């Protein structure tokens, strides 16, 4: 159950919308931020708040890459696998991340810190290869730069804007 203050804020936001459906993604993000991912229980709770069927929300959730229906790590790494990033070293970086984190694509590290997911494009083509970590963009990545980013994140530190 979400906290009363969050429920009130979301209810007010939904009431101010022309239709509840237009707030569905924002509500799912709020629930996900609270629970860590959109569990089945969270989906039912969010649907009730919106006056929608859970199946309707499920349709939306499966469309968006950033709605997580399974538990994810504290840091979700979305590595761009667009053609531009492929041309600039995506495969090498993906292999490096998998080895460094000791996971496969789609997996979460044993310590629960990192989940590695591909995403079709993040619109950062002029900085390829690129990735998002919890919606923060990093570009012109090298294995050394990725290592610096991961090290700062492991320590809970801010990542320098130019990691290398």
**pLDDT tens, N- to C-terminus, the chain (164 residues):** 899 999 999 999 999 999 999 999 999 999 999 999 999 999 999 999 999 999 999 999 999 989 999 999 999 999 999 999 999 999 999 999 999 999 999 999 999 999 999 999 999 999 999 999 998 999 999 999 999 999 999 999 988 765 54
CATH 3.40.30.10 correct for 75-154: yes
Region for 106 from its dihedrals, namely left if φ exceeds 0, alpha if ψ lies in -120 to 50, beta otherwise:
left
What global pTM score does this model have?
0.88
> What letters, b where the CB count within 10 A reaches 16 and e where it falls short, cover 9-20?
ebeeebeeeeeb
| Whether the Cβ atoms of residue 43 and residue 34 lie closer than 8 Å to each other | no
Residues in the chain: 164
Look up residue 158 and give its DSSP letter: P
Burial class of residue 119 in the structure, from the number of CB atoms within 10 Å of its CB (0-12 exposed, 13-18 middle, 19+ buried): middle
Q: Could you tell me the residue ranges of all domains in the chain?
A: 4-63, 75-154
CA distances from 112 to 74, 101, 121 (A): 7, 11, 25
Rounded Cα distance, 22 and 37, in Å: 20
């Amino acid at each position: 159950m979400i906290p009363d203050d969050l429920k009130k804020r979301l209810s007010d936001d939904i009431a101010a919308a022309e239709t509840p459906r237009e707030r569905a993604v924002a509500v799912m993000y709020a629930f996900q931020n609270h629970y860590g991912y959109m569990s089945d229980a969270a989906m039912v709770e969010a649907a009730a708040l919106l006056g929608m069927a859970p199946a309707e929300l499920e349709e939306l959730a499966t469309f968006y890459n950033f709605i997580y229906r399974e538990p994810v790590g504290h840091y979700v790494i979305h590595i761009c696998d667009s053609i531009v990033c492929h041309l600039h070293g995506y495969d090498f970086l993906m292999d490096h991340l998998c080895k460094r984190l000791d996971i496969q694509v789609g997996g979460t590290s044993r310590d629960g810190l990192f989940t590695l997911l591909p995403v079709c494009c993040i619109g950062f083509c002029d900085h390829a290869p690129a990735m998002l970590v919890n919606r923060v963009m990093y570009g012109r990545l090298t294995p050394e730069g990725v290592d610096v980013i991961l090290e700062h994140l492991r320590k809970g530190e801010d990542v320098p804007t130019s990691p290398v």
